[in-house]
Amino acid sequence: MNLKRITFWLLLFGMLPNIASAQQATKADIQALELKMITTITEMDKRLTSQIADLDKRLTVLQTTVTEMDKRLTAQIQAVQTTINVLFWAIGALITLVLAVITLPQLLGYFQEKRARIDFQKEIDELKRRLEQQQQEIESLKSRRVVTPS
């Protein structure tokens, strides 16, 4: 803290002679300052205009680069979407194939079993018909035997 106080007092005493010796500015001093300020402002304006033009050129280059990158990214995104669509259809086809492999034997077995049932039913119907026919023949033979004594 002592160093801060010493620094403060040294700065205060160092500035006192400048403040005491300050005089009122003359018209020539003001004109010289005005000319100096105008020159300084003109130089700053030229530098700023040059820097703005350079920044504008760089911004144009960046905009072109961003536009090109956007086109490339759009193309890549479309390629990825196309690949995803192809994969989606391929997976769908594989699922369909797997389902077909699983269900086809079952369907074939069902149809074979149905055909076998129909064939068995036909055989049963045929056997019933033959049984009825034989029963009629037996009845007919029994009735003949009754009619003709031996």
Its domain, for residue 120, covers 34-147
Residue 150 has pLDDT above 60, yes or no: no
Angle (CA) 113-117-122 rounded to 5° is: 150
pLDDT tens digit sequence for 81-128: 999 999 999 999 999 999 999 998 888 888 999 898 999 999 999 999
- The answer to whether position 64 is within a domain reads yes
- The answer to whether position 58 is within a domain reads yes
- The answer to whether position 78 is within a domain reads yes
pLDDT tens digit sequence for 11-25: 777 766 665 555 676
- The answer to whether position 117 is within a domain reads yes
- The answer to whether position 123 is within a domain reads yes
- The answer to whether position 119 is within a domain reads yes
- The answer to whether position 49 is within a domain reads yes
- The answer to whether position 13 is within a domain reads no
Query: What is the count of structural domains for the chain?
Result: 1
